[in-house]
Structure 1
Amino acid sequence: MKYLGKVLPVDGYYVILQEYLPNDYTKSLAHLYQPLIGVHAVTLYQTLLHEMELQSDSTPQTHHTLMNYLNIPLDEVYKARLKLEGIGLLNTFKKQAEERTVFTYELLSPFAPSDFFKDAMLSQLLMHQIGDTKYHALKRHYYKEAPSGIGENITARFNEVFQTFTPSIEAVKPKEKVNKIQARNERSIDFSWMVQMLKQRLIPVGKVLTQENRKLISQMVLLYGLDSYEVEKSVLWALTEDNVLDTDEFKTACHDLFKSKHYDKSITLTEKRTPPEQQQTEPQTKEEMLIQELESISPKQLLEDLSGGNQASEQDLKAIREVMVSQGLPAPVMNVLVHYVLLQSNMKLSKAYLEKIASHWSRANIKTAKEAMEFAKTEQNKFQKGSKQKTAYNYKPISKEIIPDWFKDRNKTKQSTVAQTSQTVIDLEKEKAELQALLNGKAIPHKNRSQG
């Protein structure tokens, strides 16, 4: 039902192709892409490809034509289109014409079979989809590895042979195939966090976090939905004695961590369903704004925001990392914990205090920033009411330190005069009172407010 009205049968479309297709693209579509996205999506791709020969520059085709070609309802055509977009085979552009909507479908080149198996994410997805036996049979047939024992590659580079002017990096280096899925959907990875971890263990950062390894780590995070501490575990597990990342061991470690959390689940490409409580994207209240921020930033960013942009200390980062790893807390939950401990401890980050609360939250199986905020509010209400069900840690009065700038309206300009500065301090006190009210679960007064 949610696809109804997204596209109408009378809506027009044009098809363009601005990339060259590999000679064996049909083999890729049939044997490698089709198990992932299904027959309707592959058929739609091939239909659009051949439609370019028939289309008129002045009059677009209608989606009713696609319905007849594919012999499926329009909502199924739309679902097939989304799969092509998600897998990196299609870009869609929408334009409102005088009487109807017109779409332009830009077809993107699929990987050649040999390149497909070089892509960690796609190859892992295919292996999970069709099984080890069939996967390795396809890989042996399509992917030819360079023969071993042929010696060192001493091929001369362009700038070693010719001299005209200083060539750009792009002119010297061979262009790599871009992973369209990663380019569109890559989950943000805070590699600075991993850099700190490697430095603490005296592991050479440049040797581990190469460009290829960063790409691999990003893909595995997207594929398996790993948290920061899980990525850290996988990287350390896969390091050889020479501090080289064994990519096969790393993939295995990521898969094992996924199975340990979701023992009854399998990796398959399925239609994404957004829970009703997550469909509202724009925060409506101060609390929702705070939760959204804590869900999206890393603990390192949080520390730096709370310290006015100053660099987070290695000691604090080490304490947070060790607590995250030992208790298995996701980054958003750890953000709430760090924020709360700082507010309760006069902006001092006590590792012992962190561990006490973290162990409690870990046993409570808290997974999101919202759950952590609600749990903290509940526990504080118990303490304030004198409940006998007190936790092992005490909730102290809120600190009088200035709350982080990102919790306030970032678009407000700073005041420069003395009188304005005095007024800002008063407003900051109001902000802190509102934050305490959020934790207490009380309504926030809105009268006589000059900011926020």
Structure 2
Amino acid sequence: MNHIGKILPVEGYRVLFKGNLPVDYAKSLTHLYQPLIGIQAYSLYQTLMNELEFQHGSLVQTHHTIMNYMNLPLDDIYRARLKLEGIGLLKTYKNQIDEQISYIYELQSPFSPANFFTDEMLAQLLYHHIGENKFELLKEHYTQHEKREGANITASFSEVFKTFQPYLEGMEVAEDQHESVTDTAAIDFTWMEQMLKQRMIPANRVLTPANRKLISQMMTLYDLATYEVEKSVLWALTDENSLNRNEFKEACHDLFKNKHNQINIKLTEKEAHPINEPVSNPTTKEEQLIIELEKISPKQLLEDLSSGGQASAQDMKVIREVMTTQGLPSPVMNVLIHYVLLQSNMKLSRAYLEKIASHWSRANLKTAKEAMAFAKSEKDRYQKGKANKPNYKKPQSNEVVPEWFKERKKKKQQANSTQDNTDSQQEWEETATLLRKYSKKKNNHL
């Protein structure tokens, strides 16, 4: 991946650090983080940490300094910086005054060795990077506790104090407040809540805060679709309707292996410009619509298309079942919902939805852009086939038809065909406008 020019040697930087470092943070970086991010990112973190001593007043150093310390070209340093950001060890802020660009590198505290293993995603990644034997050795060494003898007779809060305390069944308190690598707020759990309710399973017992974090992390780690995560959750449920966390992780791993033919799980850098990446600077309404359909959930799409109203439980059930049965990614499902609504006068027909979904599933569509192009091509093919279909209802007349009449009829057919395409394009564009309108309205209320 080419990172040349992302930052320049003459651009300045300052280093900040907020919080407290664990006493044994160096062990954590060496044994636990370094296998994941590599020696260059590890070295960059240590270099920036030691640079804190030289942060006096408003002194801003240039990136020449880091290049000289690490003896590395700037594109390698930039790549190492991205790894630190991705793993949660660094936050970067960019300032530009006139033509002068500078950066603030805010170092984040790593997990202590013991707490590292409480983050399910990082622990699973380390397991895949260094193997089972070395992983178990490190885990046993860093998480060992002194043996306690005797019965635990410690009084609880409720036994000592009397006060009002709200209680939610099944809620768990996170043991560590360290910022997680993944953002659980980015995952829409509406689908899973609906799925559990349909099966008469108490969602609040399964989707506790700790379990939501685990589900989000495994979804990111193994690149699983929503329907695949739902299968893993159902597989790992106990007789008491609680989530067996180890069985859930194993189920996610098995799904990954089946889908990717035993490929190893390793942290790798993303391509700078993935083939299926949405257009970053959309120039047309269709490109804007594609970006919206890539980002939002099917539930939000339904609500936006109904002028912000609540999506009905029946519609949500239909969409969830079609989506999970056919294994459609969320962006593709969004295009399908949009297409069916346009073709059915804004009615969500289950039979029509299932018919098209099975076709799109066989076509192996992955992105909103692919699905939209496929939908347009299929509609064009259908219209052309309909126009070329011979009409056997009327027998041929022996009456001589004037040439001017034939020409006028031909032009009328061409005009109708052009109008159909124009109307279809206009419908897509109107939806893009509607989605942007209600997305902005929601953001303004946040």
Q: Structure 2 CA distance, aligned partners of 1:150 and 1:201?
A: 43
Spell out the pairing of 1:44-83 with structure 2 (5 A cutoff): 44-83=44-83
* Runs of 5+ unmatched residues, structure 1: 167-172, 391-396, 414-452
- Give the CA deviation at 1:37: 0.4
What's 1:303 paired with?
302
Residue 2 of structure 1 deviates from its aligned partner by 3.7
Q: Is the 8 A contact 1:9 1:63 kept in 2?
A: yes
1:412 positional shift: 6.8
Q: For residues 41-85 of structure 1, what are the alpha-carbon distances to aligned partners after superposition, in whole Å with 9 as ceiling and x for unaligned?
A: 111111111222234334333322221221111211121111111
**Is contact 1:382-1:389 (8 Å) kept?**
no
In structure 1, distance between residues paired with 2:117 and 2:48 = 26
Letter in 2 for 1:368: T
The change in CA–CA distance for 1:58 and 1:158 in structure 2 (over 3 A counts) is: farther
Sort the Cα spacing of 1:108 and 1:362 in 2 relative to 1 into closer, same or farther, 3 A: same
3-state DSSP of counterpart to 1:385 = helix
Q: Counterpart of 1:206?
A: 204
Output the CA distance in 2 between the equivalents of 1:145 and 1:197.
40
Question: 1:215: Cα distance to partner?
Answer: 0.9
Is the contact made by 2:305 and 2:434 (CA closer than 8 Å) also made in structure 1?
Answer: no
In structure 1, what is the equivalent of residue 432 of structure 2?
A: 407
Identify which of 242, 245, 261 aligns with 2:240.
Answer: 242
Per the TM alignment, residue 100 of structure 1 is displaced from its structure 2 partner at its CA by 4.3
CA distance in 1, matches of 2:347, 2:99: 63
CA shift, 1:283, in A, is: 2.1
* 1:389 Cα deviation after fit: 12
Structure 1 pair 152/369, CA: closer, same or farther in 2 (3 Å)? Answer: farther
**Structure 2 counterpart of 1:115:** 115
Whichever residue aligns with residue 228 of structure 2, its letter is E
AA aligned opposite 1:20: N
1:16-27 aligned within 5 A: 16-27=16-27
Partners of 1:55 and 1:61 within 8 A in 2: no
- Find the counterpart in structure 2 of residue 105 from structure 1: 105
Distance change (3 Å), C-alpha of 1:310 and 1:26? same
Relative to structure 1, the CA distance from residue 192 to residue 404 in structure 2 (aligned partners, 3 Å threshold; closer, same or farther) is farther
Whether the 8 Å CA contact 2:90–2:107 is kept in 1: the answer is yes
Q: Distance in 2 between matches of 1:215 and 1:388?
A: 54
Code of the aligned partner of 1:135: F
Asked if structure 1 preserves the Cα contact closer than 8 Å seen for 2:286 and 2:429, the reply is no
Structure 2 residue aligned with 1:280: 279
Give a deviation string over 1:165-206, Cα, whole Å, max 9, x none: 99xxxxxx88832234224xx572111221111111100011
Q: 1:227 to 1:408 in 2, by over 3 A?
A: same
Deviation readout 1:295-354 (Å, 9 max, x if unpaired):
222222222223333322222222222221221111111122222222222333222222
Does the 8 Å contact 2:20/2:109 carry over to 1? yes
Is residue 15–residue 51 contact of structure 1 (8 Å, CA) maintained in 2?
yes
Tell me the distance in 2 between the aligned counterparts of 1:295 and 1:245.
30
Q: In 2 relative to 1, CA 9–305 (structure 1 residues): closer, same or farther, beyond 3 Å?
A: closer
Q: Tell me which moved more, 98-107 or 202-211.
A: 98-107
The answer to whether the 8 A contact 2:286-2:432 is kept is no
Asked if the contact 1:92–1:103 (Cα under 8 Å) also holds between the matched residues in 2, the reply is: yes
Is 2:338 the partner of 1:350?
no
Change (3 A) 1:34 1:412: closer
Pair 212,412 (structure 1): closer, same or farther in 2 beyond 3 Å:
closer
Q: How far 1:96 moved relative to its partner?
A: 3.6
Distance 1:406 1:217, change over 3 A: farther
1:372-412 per-residue CA deviation (whole Å, 9 max, x = no partner) reads 1111111111111117999xxxxxx999xx99986325677
Give the TM-score normalised by structure 1: 0.79
| Coordinate RMSD, CA, aligned | 3.4
SS of 2:94's equivalent in the other structure is strand
CA-CA distance at 1:23 after TM superposition: 0.8
Deviation at 1:159, TM superposition (A): 11
Q: Which amino acid aligns with 2:241?
A: N
Measured in 1, the distance between the counterparts of 2:259 and 2:365 equals: 14
Partner of 1:42: 42
| Larger Rg over CA atoms | 2
Higher relative CO (Cα under 8 Å, sequence separation at least 6) belongs to 2
Matches within 5 A, 1:257-268: 257-263=255-261, 265-268=263-266
Partner in structure 1 of residue 33 of structure 2: 33
Does the aligned pair in 1 maintain the 2:128–2:265 contact within 8 Å?
Answer: yes
Deviation at 1:150, TM superposition (A): 7.5
In the alignment, the residues of structure 1 paired with residue 434 and residue 341 of structure 2 have an alpha-carbon distance, to the nearest angstrom, of 21
Which residue in the other structure is 1:446 paired with?
none
Q: Which residue of 1 aligns with 2:220?
A: 222
What's the offset of the Cα at 1:17?
A: 1.8
Distance 2:98 2:308 in 1: 50
- Residue 357 of structure 1 deviates from its aligned partner by 1.3
After superposition, the Cα gap between the structure-2 partners of 1:146 and 1:319, relative to the gap in structure 1 and judged at 3 Å, is: farther
User: Is 1:124 the equivalent of 2:124?
Assistant: yes
1:306 touches 1:403 (CA, 8 Å); kept in 2?
no
| Contact persistence 1:341–1:354 (CA under 8 A) | yes
Q: Percent identity?
A: 58
Amino acid at match of 1:12: G
- Structure 2 unpaired stretches of 5+: 166-172, 390-419, 439-446
Indicate the SS of the match to 2:186. coil
Q: Judge which range, 403-412 or 245-254, deviates more.
A: 403-412
Aligned position for 1:231: 229
CA separation in 1, counterparts of 2:229 and 2:276?
28
Separation of aligned partners in 2, 1:265 and 1:174: 32
